[in-house]
Amino acid sequence: MYIYAITDHSRAAMPATPGLEDAPPLSIPYREIAAVVSAHSMEKIAPTQTYLWCHEAVVEALMADRTVLPVRFGTVVSGEAAVQALLAAHYDGLVANLKRVCGRVELGLRTLWDGVEGRASTPGRSEQVAQRGSGMDGRSYLLARLEEERQTQVWRQRAEVLAAELHGSLAHLAVESTYQVLMTPRMLLVAAYLIERDRMTVFQRMVNALKITHPTLDLLCTGPWPPYSFVTAGAVAASGKQREGAYA
């Protein structure tokens, strides 16, 4: 059996959306929650675009009329008994997660910037210094390296200040959020926001406002997603987690 999501115990009918291999999704209840599954014949599930979107389509269809915890792709168990054993093992954590995300959706934001040019005064960190280094004495070489490091630090600080400003404008509209700075030199900000469903319009308006006030940035907003970024396995999730990763 393939598991798509954990839901609250709902009397609503299963959506018509077909699952993997066109199998119909079924709900297996356990106390106050349920797992949505379908039968399948594959020994291993290949993460092809077809299967990925199929999984996502089932989860999003469920989101329309119940609270949903999306399960990571590729979760396969032997049968109904195994499903119920997993639900029992993780019960308290799953109930807590369902309560946290009830009535809420996830919006994602990626922001590209052009600030990568500020990293060093000329392109190529070590290449630049190596070129100059051939005719340089040791002291000049070290000074040049120090200057490069300083510029990189300044650049990184610019990124963190700008990312914090953008994130700050959006985070207060959200119940919870995560963000990461400079995942790549051009990817200034990658963030996810757990927001109340009825705040989606306000959030979108803020993103549009940020696009106007920051015309050199590319703000790419997607969603609403099931709350992938705001659930954890079993254990009660920490709230308001913030991950900051500086580009190394």
Partner 1 sequence: MSQLVARQKEFTLLELLDRILDKGVVLKGDITISVANVDLVYLGLKVLLGSVESVERMRTAAIQGSMLDVQGKG
Residue 21 CB, shortest distance to partner 1, in Å, is 15
Residue 184 CB, shortest distance to partner 1, in Å, is 7
Give helix 125-133 / helix 138-171 axis angle, nearest 10°.
170
Instruction: Count the neighbouring beta carbons within 10 Å of the beta carbon of residue 6.
Output: 24
Assess 155 for contact with partner 1 (CB under 8 A). Answer: no
Q: Measuring CA to CA, how many Å separate 163 from each of 19, 157, 166, 181, 195?
A: 39, 10, 5, 7, 19
Site for partner 1 in 34-93 (CB under 8 A): 43-49, 52-53, 55-56, 69-77, 86, 90
Assess 213 for contact with partner 1 (CB under 8 A). Answer: no
Centroid of chain to Cα 234: 19
Instruction: Count the neighbouring beta carbons within 10 Å of the beta carbon of residue 45.
Output: 16
Task: Please tell me the distance from the alpha carbon of residue 223 to that of residue 185, in angstroms, as a whole number.
Answer: 24
Which of these segments, 132-140, 146-154, 158-166, 214-222, binds partner 1 (CB under 8 A)? 214-222
Site string for partner 1, 100-119 (x = CB under 8 A): --------x-x-x-x-----
| Residues in contact with partner 1 by the rule CB under 8 A | 3, 5-6, 43-49, 52-53, 55-56, 69-77, 86, 90, 94, 97, 108, 110, 112, 114, 184, 186-187, 218, 220, 222, 225-226, 228-229, 231-234
